[in-house]
Chains A and B, each alone.
Chain A
Amino acid sequence: MSLVFAGVLSHAPGITGRANRADPALRDEFYANLDRMRRALEAARADALVVIGAEHFANFFMNNMPSLCVGMADAYEGPIEDVEWLRIARTRVPGAADLSQRLITGMMREVDLAYAQEWKFDHGIMVPLHFLTPRYDLPVIPVNINCQGPPLIPLARCWAFGRALRRACDESPERIAVVGTGGISHWPATPDSGKINEAWDRAFLEKFLGNRREELLAYTDEETYRDAGQGGFEIRTFIALAGCTEGSRGELWFYAPIPIFAVGCTVAVMRLAPLAAERAAAA
């Protein structure tokens, strides 16, 4: 089949863990758009959900840090965090090992990957799943992009990874959904937690929604760190998603800075278009 759904959303632990401290109207509007995304995902009748995330030292450490890693297990566990802290119950999440293996094999023709048959989900994946698959009944394939421990993968290679993922999805009979989750600007878990650069976020989102490759790949880590904090390095997840949906345009369903969540909360969905190569072949 092919890619049947693609979007991006935030994953900050405060979204669930500090929910009671946010402005109720803003929080509820954000939650409503996450639920809208859940309904859109369900309407797409996906067989599996690929989550392109940026985990935070739950599985990967500087003793053996992959730039890109894809899960290849039948099941995963999460959250790794204290359940009272995150306010998401610990659970078992179904995987799709066979599909993972085929996607990884396909992608390896173009990009270098690590794979993992054991993976504990942290808030970076559990918060999205809490809203998108609250019954944990959709098989998940996790992807991790190292956004925490430099040296970090260049943005162009994140785009290339996304393209490779799209091609691998298109070669699979399953209906596949993909979400990216990260950033955008934020300074999480630091003294500047709660700081959000809304103007930077909106400028980035405009480029992301327009799938403007050259402009997205023009960001440097130095500029991102200065203007968007170390959390801004997670734009890699958005850029991988943009590579996966090359040629498509996106719709922004929600964006608002919510400081107690420590991030500009974002929900956006891509209107999927065929890849350029497919369009050329059909012409």
Chain B
Amino acid sequence: MSLYHLQKLLYQLNRDPAVRKQYEQNFEELLAGYELTAEELRAIREPDIGLLYVMGVNGQILMHYAALRGFEWDAYIEAMREGERRYGPVRAGLYKRAGQTS
């Protein structure tokens, strides 16, 4: 697990226009700059918003990536619920202590 790097990628994508440009022009090159596992890379590329949530990405970071990838609000919420159903409780980060949040 490299939740720190996973969140850092999304944090920088959310706030830095240069990183956003790189995302648009060469996504793979951007991803290569972070220490990410194969599972994390799959979740980012797909995107599998539910898996990113279960991996522990903070919702305040994740909701903007979901919006960037075309998820309306209700679809974003449902994607996280589907993630819990498919992958189980949140594994790390702020939401881990409560385990199953729903």
Contact = CB atoms under 8 A, between A and B. Distances in A.
Interface of A: 14, 18, 56-59, 61-63, 80-82, 85, 120, 148-150, 187-193, 225-226, 230
Contact of B14 (A57, A148, A192): A57
B46 to A, nearest CB: 19
A23 B19 CA distance: 38
Given A57-B61, A62-B4, A80 B101 contact: no
Q: Give the size category of B's interface with A.
A: 20 to 34
B91 to A, nearest CB: 14
Contacts of B14: 57-58, 80
17 contacts: A56-B60, A56-B61, A57-B7, A57-B15, A57-B58, A61-B8, A62-B7, A63-B8, A80-B14, A82-B67, A148-B58, A188-B60, A189-B59, A192-B101, A193-B77, A226-B98, A230-B95
Interface of B: 4, 7-8, 11, 14-15, 53, 58-64, 67-68, 73, 77, 80-81, 84, 94-95, 97-98, 101-102
Contacts of B81: 191
B77 A150 contact: no
B73 A190 contact: no
Given A62-B7, A191-B80, A191-B84, A150 B61 contact: no
A189 B102 contact: no
Given A57-B14, A148-B94, A189-B62, A18 B101 contact: no
Contacts of B58: 57, 148-149, 189
Contacts of B67: 82, 85
A191 B60 contact: no
Given A190-B101, A191-B84, A57 B94 contact: no
Contacts of B53: 190-191
B64 A61 contact: no
A189 B60 contact: yes
A21 to B, nearest CB: 8
